[in-house]
């Protein structure tokens, strides 16, 4: 938060993208698009979101959920590690956890076909569509 206050989103863009996309992030074909989108965001909005996330106990809230839940995580996500997503899913009765190999923090951009197939199967299995 302090870095963004001092230098805007540009101050954290590269380390954030590395956490999101993994080791080969510079070679990732979506990187320039994600970087531009990230930098076009609001520093004030990012600070507010970061503060909200830092001050929230998601475990307690997740444990109260009683609805069909699909928790997805990318194997290369350095921002929200797969084990954290799995642990959160385990708090929700009947929740499913799926790991998307080769994806980072934004699997809908990195592996859209895989993510779409997982969501479609979940919706069908749960008679949501």
**Averaged pLDDT score across all residues of the chain:** 93
Listed in order, the ranges of the chain carrying CATH 3.40.50.11320 are 58-129
pLDDT exceeds 80 at position 28: no
Q: What is the pTM of this model?
A: 0.85
Cβ atoms within 10 A of the Cβ of 42, count?
A: 11
Percent of the chain whose pLDDT exceeds 70: 99
What's the mean pLDDT in 86-91? 97
Mean pLDDT of 21-39: 83
Q: For residue 9, is pLDDT > 90?
A: yes
Architecture of domain 58-129: 3-Layer(aba) Sandwich (3.40)
Query: Could you tell me which residues come within 8 angstroms of residue 80 by beta carbon, excluding any fewer than 6 positions away?
Result: 73, 105
The pLDDT of residue 21 is 82
pLDDT given at position 32: 87
| CA distance linking residue 92 with residue 65, whole number of Å | 6
What is the per-residue pLDDT for 109?
A: 86
Angle (CA) 84 90 92, round 5°: 115
Q: Supply the pLDDT for residue 85.
A: 96
């Amino acid at each position: 938060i302090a870095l963004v206050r001092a230098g805007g989103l540009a101050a954290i863009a590269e380390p954030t993208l590395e956490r999101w996309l993994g080791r080969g992030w510079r070679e990732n074909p979506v990187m320039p698009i994600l970087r531009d989108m990230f930098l076009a965001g609001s520093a004030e909005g990012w600070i507010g979101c970061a503060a909200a996330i830092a001050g929230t106990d998601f475990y307690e809230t997740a444990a109260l959920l009683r609805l069909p839940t699909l928790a997805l995580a990318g194997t290369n996500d350095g921002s929200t590690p797969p084990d954290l997503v799995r642990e959160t899913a385990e708090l929700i009765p009947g929740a499913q956890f799926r790991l998307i190999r080769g994806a980072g923090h934004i699997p809908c951009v990195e592996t859209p076909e895989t993510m779409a197939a997982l969501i479609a199967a979940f919706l069908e299995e749960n008679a949501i569509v």
